[in-house]
A and B are shown apart, each in its own frame.
Chain A
Amino acid sequence: MSADTRTAAIVAASGFSSKLGKMIDVAEGGMLWTLSPTSDLIGNPVMRALHGGAVTAFLEFACGVVLARQLDHDSIPRLISMNVQFLASMRLAPVIARPQVRRIGRRVAVAQIEAWQDDSDALVCTAQCEFLRRSD
Chain B
Amino acid sequence: MSEFADAANIIIPWSAELGFRLLSAGDGLCSLRLPWRADLSGADGGIASGAIASLIDHACGTAVMSRLELVSIATLNLKIDHIRQPKARSQVTAWAHCYRISEIMTFVRAEVWDSDPDEVFAAAQGVFSINRRVVA
A interface residues, Cβ below 8 angstroms from B: 13-20, 39-47, 49, 51-54, 56-58, 60-61, 75-76, 78-86, 89
Residues in B41-60 with C-beta less than 8 Å from chain A: 41-43, 47-51, 53-58
Bound CA span A46–B65, Å: 14
Choose one: B11, B50, B134; the contact of A60 (CB below 8 Å).
Answer: B50
Bound CA span A83–B50, Å: 13
What bracket does the count of chain B residues touching chain A fall in? 35 or more
A53–B13 contact, CB under 8 A? no
Interface residue? B68 (CB, 8 A)? no
Contact A14-B48, Cβ < 8 Å, known A53-B55, A82-B53: yes
A40–B74 contact, CB under 8 A? no
Bound CA span A54–B20, Å: 13
Bound CA span A85–B78, Å: 7
B73-107 interface bits toward A, Cβ cutoff 8 Å, 1 = contact, 0 = none: 01111111110010000000000000000000000
CB-defined contacts of A49 to chain B, threshold 8 Å: 74
Closest to A87 in B: B76
Interface residue? B39 (CB, 8 A)? yes
B126 → chain A closest CB, angstroms:
9
Bound CA span A14–B43, Å: 5
A83 → chain B closest CB, angstroms:
5
CB-defined contacts of B75 to chain A, threshold 8 Å: 52, 84, 86
Question: What is the interface of chain A mostly: helix, strand, loop, or mixed?
Answer: mixed
Bound CA span A56–B97, Å: 20
A52–B78 contact, CB under 8 A? yes
CB-defined contacts of A75 to chain B, threshold 8 Å: 43
A57–B13 contact, CB under 8 A? no
CB-defined contacts of A52 to chain B, threshold 8 Å: 57, 61, 74-75, 78
B107 → chain A closest CB, angstroms:
15
Bound CA span A42–B13, Å: 6
Bound CA span A106–B129, Å: 38
Bound CA span A39–B41, Å: 22
CB-CB nearest 4 A-B residue pairs: A57-B50, A53-B54, A16-B48, A53-B57
Bound CA span A41–B17, Å: 8
B87 → chain A closest CB, angstroms:
15
Interface core residue of B41, B47, B78 (most chain A CB under 10 Å): B78
CB-defined contacts of B11 to chain A, threshold 8 Å: 45
Residues in B1-45 with C-beta less than 8 Å from chain A: 11-15, 17, 37-43
